[in-house]
Amino acid sequence: MFSRAVCKKLPVKLACLFFVGMFVLFVLASLPMIGMKKHVYATTSQAPSFEYGIVFGSGIDRRKQPRGELRSRLDIAAQAMLTGKVKKLLLSGDNRTLQYNEPEAMKTYLIKTYRIDAEKLQEDFAGRSTYETCERARKIFSIRKALLFSTRSHLPRAIYTCRHFGIQSYGMASGVSARNAYYREPLAVLKMYFNLYIYGEKTILGEKIDF
């Protein structure tokens, strides 16, 4: 039988074990992400040419304009297109309501700001998460190789996820990241493993789209 003194200490020990276990779990989960960083190009001049690029949505404002983080992703993607590093862009984002349409805002921004040819831009209205964007890019748009445009903190997870679905993926980092990105990412990585290997997300699929 445990004494009262031991019982008092037990919650502390359990809490310590929990936090140590979580720390070890985060470290182990992060190791593959470190390996993904070697697939990220620092500048457009370093990157080879790609048929496809994928821009991950990350929020628009009340005026239906891309927020700073998303605008930065679009800027680097436009630069890649204008320098001939990417021929076509898949603009994948959230369009859960008529009032909130990330892909449309992304397309409008690229056309108005950089005069990108609309025929080279394909909207994906059901890319509500990294998982869904990558799965749809492969299964709906038949993309096998792509240059991904996102933040430096997000790219390792995006590359890992897209490679899981059979897309030979590389990344190019934008210059703006969310303030909480590096704190949020470890939890997002754990969720990624859960979705990829245990229980997948409910991705909206359908007929293939030529792009």
For the chain, give every domain's residue range: 8-198
Q: SS3 for 86? A: strand
- Estimate to the nearest angstrom the gap between the alpha carbon of 197 and the chain centroid: 18
Per the model's pLDDT, the better-predicted residue between 196 and 34 turns out to be: 196
Q: What is the mean pLDDT of the chain?
A: 86
Helix, strand, coil % over all residues of the chain, rounded to 5: 50, 20, 30
Does residue 31 surpass a pLDDT of 80? no
Give tens-digit pLDDT for 103-112. 999 999 999 9
Average pLDDT on 163-183 reads 84
Q: Which residue has the higher pLDDT, 25 or 113?
A: 113
**Domain 8-198: homologous superfamily in CATH:** HUPs (3.40.50.620)
pLDDT at 114 over 60: yes
pLDDT surpasses 80 at 165? yes
Q: Which of 161, 147, 121 is nearest to 43 (CA)?
A: 147
Q: What pLDDT band is residue 172 in, cutting at 50, 70 and 90?
A: very high
Say yes or no to pLDDT of 180 above 50: yes
Joined together, the tokens standing for residue 122 give 């394909």
Q: What is the pLDDT of residue 142?
A: 97
Q: Which residue has the higher pLDDT, 36 or 34?
A: 36
Per DSSP, the three-state class of 202 is: coil
Strand duo 121-124 + 40-41: pairing: unpaired
**CA 182 from centroid of its chain's CA atoms:** 14
pLDDT for 97: 84
What does the pLDDT read at residue 6? 45
- Please measure the distance between the N-terminal and C-terminal CA atoms of the chain and give it in whole angstroms: 69
85: which 2 tokens?
């590093």
> In this structure, what are the phi and psi dihedrals at residue 167, rounded to the nearest 5 degrees?
-105, 120
- Closest by Cα among 146, 192, 188 to 166: 146
Going by pLDDT thresholds of 50, 70 and 90, the confidence category of residue 179 is low
pTM for this prediction: 0.85
**Mean pLDDT, residues 71-76 taken together:** 96
Cα 1 from chain centre: 52
Q: Which of 17-21, 164-168, 175-179 has the lowest mean pLDDT?
A: 17-21
Q: Considering only CA atoms, which of 160, 150, 142, 154 is closest in space to residue 196? A: 160
